[in-house]
Amino acid sequence: MNTRADTGANTGADTQATKGANGIEIENLNVWFGEHEDRVDAVRDASLCVPEGGSFGLVGESGSGKSTILRALTGLVPTWSGRMAVLGRDLGRRRDREFYRSVQMVFQDPYASLHPRQSVDQVLGETLSLHGFHDIDRRINKLLDDVGLGPAFRFRYPHQLSGGQRQRVAIARALAPEPRILLLDEPTSALDVSVQAEILNLLVDLRAERGLTYLMVSHNLAVVGHMCSDVAVMQLGEIVETLPVEDMRAGRTTHPYTRHLLQASLGEMAAGA
């Protein structure tokens, strides 16, 4: 898919140095929690690759290790082995400033991820100044516009927003440092069904406009089918199958667990879930 012919060009600004590199590469990743008899092997020998500008889904039932992969990437879990690279740079134990600018995460629950006593203006303003931007006023208005919220929302507090509007603010906050990669952990599962599609469509548009790379976790195959070009299916900490989304849609799967998930999701759709 991607050649690595440009690996010698790793000097200078990142945007130049990593052109043509993969967005995210994970090889033989193991992640565990606790030790000895308390040890939980949350992810075992997982490998995946998301080309820059690509969109990749991780599906599987609750507890299968999906969020743990995202958390390990962002440096939130120190106990891992294997290889992880972002935009052509291998990740070590610590993440640098450039990482925290270029990789942003959107969480499932916008109620929990926004501080109740911070207005939208404060959330976005603080994020922007943390990342060293100066034209904060202009950028806040632009970000609100980019996520489909007008300037009227700028001085609201989270309790004055609907779930969908909160998630738009969380997405604006993620976009504030001008990232190149978004890690999306069930970004619509806490929302009413009626607003899920709106938020997914916003995410689709943002990726197209900005050439963002998405790694998206969902337990919902329809969501991944809408958003992603490739999907990895996880079961009990392992990736059991990786396939193009068209194959998933057409039922061209090789692993019985993928088939099981597909049947379960068809059942849910038939039941109107």
List residues binding Mg ion (CB under 5 A): 67
Please say which residue, 18 or 67, places its beta carbon nearer to Mg ion. 67
Please say which residue, 22 or 67, places its beta carbon nearer to Mg ion. 67
Q: Give the burial string for 85-112 (b: 16+ CB within 10 Å, else e).
A: bbbbbebeeeeeeebebbbbbbbbbbee
Q: Which residue has the tokens 């989270």?
A: 158
Q: Could you tell which of Mg ion, ligand ADP, none binds residue 235, using a CB distance below 5 to 8 A set by kind?
A: none
What is Dmax (Cα atoms) for the chain? 54
Please check whether residue 46 is in contact with residue 215, taking contact to mean a CB–CB distance below 8 angstroms. Answer: no
Please say which residue, 69 or 243, places its beta carbon nearer to Mg ion. 69
Site for ligand ADP in 50-89 (CB under 6 A): 60, 62-68
Least distance (Å) between residue 182 CB and ligand ADP: 17
Q: Could you tell which of Mg ion, ligand ADP, none binds residue 155, using a CB distance below 5 to 8 A set by kind?
A: none
Hey, is 22 helix, strand or coil? strand
Least distance (Å) between residue 237 CB and Mg ion: 12
Please check whether residue 118 is in contact with residue 157, taking contact to mean a CB–CB distance below 8 angstroms. Answer: yes
Please say which residue, 67 or 253, places its beta carbon nearer to ligand ADP. 67
Least distance (Å) between residue 262 CB and ligand ADP: 17
- CA 273 from centroid of its chain's CA atoms: 23
Q: Does 188 help bind ligand ADP (rule: CB under 6 A)?
A: no
Please say which residue, 67 or 253, places its beta carbon nearer to Mg ion. 67
- Phi, psi for 128 (deg, rounded to 5): -65, -40
Among positions 16, 28, 33, 160, the unique one binding ligand ADP when judged by CB under 6 A:
33
The CA distance from 28 to 23, in Å, is 17
Interaction site with ligand ADP (CB under 6 A): 33, 40, 42, 60, 62-68
